Amino acid sequence: MNKAKPFLKWAGGKKQLLKQFENLYPDELKQGKIKKYIEPFVGGGAVFFEIIQKYNVSYSYISDINKNLILTYVVIQKKLFKLLETLEKYQKQYHNIEEEQRKPLFLSIREDFNSQKSKINYKKLSDKWILVAAQLIFLNKTCFNGLFRLNSKGEFNVPFGKYNNPNILDIDNLILVSKILQNTEIVIADYKSCFKVADEKTFIYFDPPYRPISKTANFTNYAGFEFTDREQIQLADFFKKLDTQKNAKLMLSNSDPKNENSDDSFFEKLYDGYNFHQVNANRMINCIGKNRGQINELVITNY
Ligand SMILES: C[S@@+](CC[C@H](N)C(=O)[O-])C[C@H]1O[C@@H](n2cnc3c(N)ncnc32)[C@H](O)[C@@H]1O
């Protein structure tokens, strides 16, 4: 049977790490003793889709601070058919025009998407959400590298991508995704909002924005503001609070600063006393040739 997979390409997506992650999930998840799954930095949700379809959890909670991203999950959950209709219009429009007309179409949808922000009530689902969700999916499929990035004004600013046949309307996958989301609580929120739902039968996977590996590395701005070392420190405090007060199983990943500087023990100090694991990631550190290729990613667990 086909499985639901992420419907967006997302910076920091964990698709390529899923196999290695499998060995690092808590035994209780594999034994069916974990009943809740929480992913507070859900992004494209590669780990979420994997866990929900592989293990027997009865409740899941996903959140992200990126409002338009979460709005799109909610639209897929609650207004799938209207979303498919809108995507079908975009798909036809895109494929029926000459190649040189595609870039202007992309730019006008991008402009419209950016101008919607101030008009949306993110607290109440409305038909306006459907258009924003369709535009986000359209832009993700047709922009350069298929990414979502915002500038300092919070505007989506990725250029046109020039693909011959982008799959703007992936009906089969969106139907599968919608089914999965029927049992999921989807929340626009800071990661700390998950505290109230966690308990000792919960597994939480944290995938915060990467700590930039070097000062020159490009910083990925997902939501219009930065995740600095101060935020990494606050997140570690939150991890400890969940560990001691909720007894939940916790797993967190981040870039390993030792890729660039073997003396950088930032995470070892922050998560002193927890378990450290390494996985291989094919990420590029920066544009300098010698630093390309295999680098490590850290996984920290409390079990
Ligand atoms: C590394 S990405 C997650 C990638 C995801 N695991 C995947 O496979 O696509 C980090 C996510 O954290 C979100 N984020 C940043 N700051 C946040 C905060 N304070 N609370 C919740 N989410 C936040 C970003 O919007 C982004 O989607």
pLDDT digits (tens, 9 = 90+) for 214-244: 555 544 555 556 788 999 999 999 999 999 9
Q: How far is CA 89 from the centre of its chain?
A: 26
Q: Return the pLDDT at 282.
A: 74
Q: Return the pLDDT at 224.
A: 52
User: What is the rounded CA–CA span in Å between residue 265 and residue 244?
Assistant: 23
Task: Provide the CATH topology of domain 70-174.
Answer: Adenine-specific Methyltransferase; domain 2 (1.10.1020)
Nearest-CA residue for atom 13 of ligand 1:
41
pLDDT in tens, the chain (303 residues): 799 999 999 988 899 999 999 999 999 999 999 999 999 999 999 999 999 999 999 999 999 999 999 999 999 999 999 999 999 999 999 999 998 999 999 999 999 999 987 889 999 999 999 999 999 999 999 999 888 887 777 789 999 998 888 999 999 999 999 999 999 999 999 999 999 999 999 999 999 998 876 555 544 555 556 788 999 999 999 999 999 999 999 999 999 888 888 888 999 999 999 999 999 987 654 444 455 567 889 999 999
Q: Return the pLDDT at 167.
A: 93
Nearest-CA residue for atom 24 of ligand 1:
222
Q: Return the pLDDT at 260.
A: 82
Domain ranges of the chain: 15-65+189-211+227-301, 70-174
Q: Please provide residue 155's backbone torsions phi and psi, each rounded to the nearest 5 degrees.
A: -100, 140
Ligand 1 pocket at CB < 6 A: 10, 12-14, 40-41, 43-44, 46-47, 64-66, 190-191, 207-209, 222-223, 227
Beta bridge partners of 187: 63
Q: Return the pLDDT at 288.
A: 44
Q: Return the pLDDT at 287.
A: 44
Residue 41 CA to ligand 1 center (angstroms) comes to: 4
Integer CA distances (angstroms), 82 to 5, 85, 126, 225, in order:
20, 5, 12, 31
The CATH number of 15-65+189-211+227-301 is 3.40.50.150
Nearest-CA residue for atom 5 of ligand 1:
43
Would you say how long the chain is, in residues? 303
Residue with tokens 């967190």: 252
Three-state DSSP at 100 gives: helix
Q: Return the pLDDT at 151.
A: 79
Tens-digit pLDDT profile for residues 87-116: 999 999 999 999 899 999 999 999 999 998
Nearest-CA residue for atom 12 of ligand 1:
41
Q: Where do the H-state alpha helices sit in 17-164?
A: 18-22, 27-30, 46-54, 67-78, 80-96, 99-116, 127-142
User: What is the rounded CA–CA span in Å between residue 37 and residue 25?
Assistant: 12
